[in-house]
Structure 1
Amino acid sequence: MNSQMVGKSRLLSKVLPTFITFIRFLPSVNPLMLSKLYALAESLSTVITLIWFLSFVTSLMYIKLRALTKGLPTLTTFIRFLSSMNSLMFNKSCFMAEGLSTCVAFIRFLSSVNSLMLNKVYALAEGLPTFMTLIGFLSSVNSLMLNQYLTLEEGLPTIVTYIRFLFSMKS
């Protein structure tokens, strides 16, 4: 999928919406795709789901991403094998939800997250939110990931959860 494919996109739905789903072998997403993405949903929403084998997401993919949901939203989910995510993806991400929310979930085997991912992330939630979940086997997170967190929550929040086997987090 080339850059600047989706300039502005709006989703207004009240049921089980899925905005973009990629299920591919050896795919890639180039930079500046989805420059602005607004999703307004009120139930079980998945804004972007990437299910890939040997795939990667290039830097600067999401410049501005806002999700305003009220149900059980999953903002971005990556389920991949031998995948990677380059730096400066998710430069600014604002997430406001009222429920059981998961902002970013990585479920991968032999995967890595490079530096400076999630530079500024704002999570405003009122339920049992899970902000970032990394579930992987032999996966790693490089330096300067999660530089700043600003969370204003009411409930039992989990900011960062790493459930892995043989993982490393570099300084």
Structure 2
Amino acid sequence: FNTPFTGGVTEMGGLIIADVSASIVTGTAILCAVLFAFFRYTRIGVAMQAASQNQLAAYYMGIPVKMIFSLIWAISAGVAAVAGILLAPVSLIDVTIGLLGLKAFSAAVLGGFGSIPGAVVGGLLIGVIEQFSGIYLPEGFKDVAAYVVILLVLFLRPQGLFGNIGRKRV
């Protein structure tokens, strides 16, 4: 799809960046900042975190857990819609677009579940690893690199880079 950013490029210190790519990165950064602020500084965001950690305790504290879960689904749909809008200028609708979700899952595993900054760092690392594996490794390794990273992270540090180890005393 054509956008106001289509066709333009920006050069910064020998690095050439397409304006459409810069707008996608900017839009994603804004969305992540809004989600981070929402979960950190609003009562509903904190209630969502409480309900995800312990539904029964959240219910006993007066949090309407069913409504919170419905709101979580609504926010998820909104984030997916924004992601689709951001992705539309650079990607075609394809039957293999679901593989992008698997790469997002690998970014979440690498960064640590429950950590928005971890997911961002994980996504950046997955992107860099894929690009370098496409350059320095034989043909076809670029497509497998994200899944190899998932396996390595699950073996070496199952909680991810920014995740916490949850332990319960019984």
Q: What band does the TM-score fall into relative to the shorter chain?
A: under 0.3
Q: Which has the higher strand share?
A: 1
Q: State TM-score, norm by structure 1.
A: 0.26
Q: State TM-score, norm by structure 2.
A: 0.26
Q: Which has the higher helix share?
A: 2
